[in-house]
C-alpha cells in the first residue's frame, strides 16, 4: 500500500509558528494598546464579501479587481470575493450598520487576513495580514496629521527605524479632471512606448501611470505635470495645512509628486511609509483620504481617512534587529507517581489561574527523564513532588539557571514565585 501524499500549504500562503508568532503578537498587541489611546475601537468584518463591495469600492479598472482577487460563485449563484484589502469592507460595515448616526468622527481599527492572487515576493503573500485604521466623518487635515502621527508612534514603539513618510495630494473631483487632461496631453505622443498596463491606464485612469513600477514608464513620466500644480484652492489649503501639522507633530516627511496609490477611491492626501531595509518591495504602510467612498457605496456624504500596514513586512523588519523571543515555562513540576501527579495537577491549576506558565511531567517517567525535559523546555524552576513531599507538605525546588535549590510549602508557592521572579 503506497503512502498518502504529504500535503503542503498553497503557494503564497504559509504557516506562522513560534518563535515568529511572538513578534506577530507583539505587533498586534502594540497596535491595540496605542490605537485605543487615540480613540480607535476594533472592527471585525467577514473575510468574504459580495464582489460588488470591492469592484465598486476599489475601482473596476484597478489591478486588484482585474487581476488579483480571489472571486468565486457560491452555491446560491452569488459572486463572492475574499477581501483583498480592508477599507472597502470597513466602509460596507459603516454604511450597513448606520454608524454615521453616532457622534463624528468615528474611529475604527481592524486586523486580519487579506487575499490577493499575485506573484509571491519577499514579504508579500497571497494570504497576508494587515492592520488598518479608518476615521469616518471629518474632512479636516488635522485628522490626516493625527493618524499619521499615531502611525509613527506605533512604528517607533515597535523599535523600527530608517522609515520615511512620503506624502502627496491628488486633488478632488473639482481639480482632478483638469490634471487628468494635462496628463493625457503629456503622454499622448508616447502612449505606444508605455507598458501594456499603462496603455490601458491611459484610457481609464492616467493618474495610475504615475504608480507604475516598469522602468520604461518611470523614464517616460519623469517630466510629467505635477498634481500639486493643478490643485484647487481647497485642496491646496488642505495640503499646506497638513504639511504644517506634520512639522508640528515631528513627523518626518518628503513630498513625492508621483505617489498616487493604486486604488481609485483616494482623494486629496495619499501617503506611504517606506523602509530602506526591505529592498525593492519597500512599502511598510500606505493610506490616504477617501472622501467620496462612503457615498459611492450607498451611504451618506462622509469624508474619511485611513491606512493599512502589512504585518509580514513589519515582522521582517523586526527580525533584522530583534530576535523573536522564546517564552519558556516558569515552572516544570516533576511528579513521581500517580498520587504525586494528581497533587501536581492541583498545584498547576492554581498557578495557571495567576497567569503562570506551568508544565507537568509524565507520572510514569523517571525523575532523570523529567529533569531532562524541563531543561529542554528551558524552564525557570523545577518543582519535585514525590512521596516525601506529599507527606511533609514541602515541595523541593531547583532553579535551573544557577542550580540553587530548596524547599517551599505548598501553601506558599505563589508568594515564593512572586518574590523570586
The answer to whether residues 234 and 173 touch, using CB atoms and an 8 Å cutoff, is no
Per mean pLDDT, which range of 61-75, 98-112, 191-205, 229-243 is the poorest?
61-75
Q: Which residues of 152-169 are buried (b: 16+ CB within 10 A; e: fewer)?
A: bbbbeebebeebebbbbb
User: Sorting pLDDT into bands at 50, 70 and 90, what band is 192?
Assistant: very high
Residues 106 and 196 in one domain: no
Q: What is the extent of the structural domain holding 280?
A: 20-173+231-321
Residue 405 lies in a domain: yes
Confidence of residue 280 (pLDDT cuts 50, 70, 90): low
pLDDT in tens, 149-163: 999 999 999 988 778
In a domain, 272, yes or no: yes
Contact call for residues 373 and 382 (beta carbons, < 8 A): no
What is the Cα–Cα distance from 360 to 373, expressed in whole angstroms?
A: 10
pLDDT, tens only, 334-354: 999 999 999 999 999 999 998
Instruction: Residue 84: name the closest of 56, 117, 110 by CA.
Output: 117
Tens digit of each residue's pLDDT (9 = 90 or more) over 204-250: 888 888 888 899 999 999 889 998 889 999 999 999 999 999 999 99
pLDDT for 61 equals 56
pLDDT at 57 over 80: no
Same domain? For 310 and 378 the reply is no
Report how many domains make up the chain. Answer: 3
Does 138 lie in the same domain as 163? yes
Q: For Cα atoms 326, 328, 331, give the angle at the middle one, nearest 5 degrees.
A: 170
Extract the C-alpha cell encoding 180: 487628468
Average pLDDT, the chain: 90
289-330, pLDDT tens digit by residue?
999 999 999 999 999 999 999 999 899 888 887 777 788 999
Same domain, 295 and 161: yes
In 3-state terms the chain splits into helix, strand, coil percentages (rounded to 5) of: 45, 20, 35
Of 288, 321, 354, which residue is a domain's last?
A: 321
252 and 132 in a common domain? yes
**In the predicted structure, residue 15 carries a pLDDT above the cut 90:** yes
How far, in Å, are 19, 23, 141 from residue 327 at the CA level?
8, 11, 43
Q: For the domain that residue 400 is a member of, what is the CATH number?
A: 3.40.50.800
Predicted local distance difference test score (pLDDT) of residue 264: 67
**Boundary (domain end) residue, out of 321, 341, 358:** 321
Residues 43, 144, single domain; the answer is yes
CATH number of domain containing 139: 3.30.930.10
| 12 within a domain of the structure (yes/no) | no
Mean pLDDT within 138-143: 98
pTM here is 0.86
Distance CA 132, CA 259 (A): 20
Classify residue 341: in a domain, yes or no.
Answer: yes
Domain boundary at 321, 347, 370, which?
321
Q: What integer is the mean pLDDT of 251-274?
A: 84
**Cell numbers describing residue 384:** 519535585
Higher pLDDT, 386 or 417: 386
Q: Is residue 32 part of a domain?
A: yes
Tell me the CB-side half-sphere exposure of residue 209, using CA atoms within 13 A. 35
Q: How would residue 60 be classed by pLDDT, with cut points 50, 70 and 90?
A: low
Same domain membership, residue 214 and residue 165: no
271/336 same-domain check: no
Amino acid at each position: 500500500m503506497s503512502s498518502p501524499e504529504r500535503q503542503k500549504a498553497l503557494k503564497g500562503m504559509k504557516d506562522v509558528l513560534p518563535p515568529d508568532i511572538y513578534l506577530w503578537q507583539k505587533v498586534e498587541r502594540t497596535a491595540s494598546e496605542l490605537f485605543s489611546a487615540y480613540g480607535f475601537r476594533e472592527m471585525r468584518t467577514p473575510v468574504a464579501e459580495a464582489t460588488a463591495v470591492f469592484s465598486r469600492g476599489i475601482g473596476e479598472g484597478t489591478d486588484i479587481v482585474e487581476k488579483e482577487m480571489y472571486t468565486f460563485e457560491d452555491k446560491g449563484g452569488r459572486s463572492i470575493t475574499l477581501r483583498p484589502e480592508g477599507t472597502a469592507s470597513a466602509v460596507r460595515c459603516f454604511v450597513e450598520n448606520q454608524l454615521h448616526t453616532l457622534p463624528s468622527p468615528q474611529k475604527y481599527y481592524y486586523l486580519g487576513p487579506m487575499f490577493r492572487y499575485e506573484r509571491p515576493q519577499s514579504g508579500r503573500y497571497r494570504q497576508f495580514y494587515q492592520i488598518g485604521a479608518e476615521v469616518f466623518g471629518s474632512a479636516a487635515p488635522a485628522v490626516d496629521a493625527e493618524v499619521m502621527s499615531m502611525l509613527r508612534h506605533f512604528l517607533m514603539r515597535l523599535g523600527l527605524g530608517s522609515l520615511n513618510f512620503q506624502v502627496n495630494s491628488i486633488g478632488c473631483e473639482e481639480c482632478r479632471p483638469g490634471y487628468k487632461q494635462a496628463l493625457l496631453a503629456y503622454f499622448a505622443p508616447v502612449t505606444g512606448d508605455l507598458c501594456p498596463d499603462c496603455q490601458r491606464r491611459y484610457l481609464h485612469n492616467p493618474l495610475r501611470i504615475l504608480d507604475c513600477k516598469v522602468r520604461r514608464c518611470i523614464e517616460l513620466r519623469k517630466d510629467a505635470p505635477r498634481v500639486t500644480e493643478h490643485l484647487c484652492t481647497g485642496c491646496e489649503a488642505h495640503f499646506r495645512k497638513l504639511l504644517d501639522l506634520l512639522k508640528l507633530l515631528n513627523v518626518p516627511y518628503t513630498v513625492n509628486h508621483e505617489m498616487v496609490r493604486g486604488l481609485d477611491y483616494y482623494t486629496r492626501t495619499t501617503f506611504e511609509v517606506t523602509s530602506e531595509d526591505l529592498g525593492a518591495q519597500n512599502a511598510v504602510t500606505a493610506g490616504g483620504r477617501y472622501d467620496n467612498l462612503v457615498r459611492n457605496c450607498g451611504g451618506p456624504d462622509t469624508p474619511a481617512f485611513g491606512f493599512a500596514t502589512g504585518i509580514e513586512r513589519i515582522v521582517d523588519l523586526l527580525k533584522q534587529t530583534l530576535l523573536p523571543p522564546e517564552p519558556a515555562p516558569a515552572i516544570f513540576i516533576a511528579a513521581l507517581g500517580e498520587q504525586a501527579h494528581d497533587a501536581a495537577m492541583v498545584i498547576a491549576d492554581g498557578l495557571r489561574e495567576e497567569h503562570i506558565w506551568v508544565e507537568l511531567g509524565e507520572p510514569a517517567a523517571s525523575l532523570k527523564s523529567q529533569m531532562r525535559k524541563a531543561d529542554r523546555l528551558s524552564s525557570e524552576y523545577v518543582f519535585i513532588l514525590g512521596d516525601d513531599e506529599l507527606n511533609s507538605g514541602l515541595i523541593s525546588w531547583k532553579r535551573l539557571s544557577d542550580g540553587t535549590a530548596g524547599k517551599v510549602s505548598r501553601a506558599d508557592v505563589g508568594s515564593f514565585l512572586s518574590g523570586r521572579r
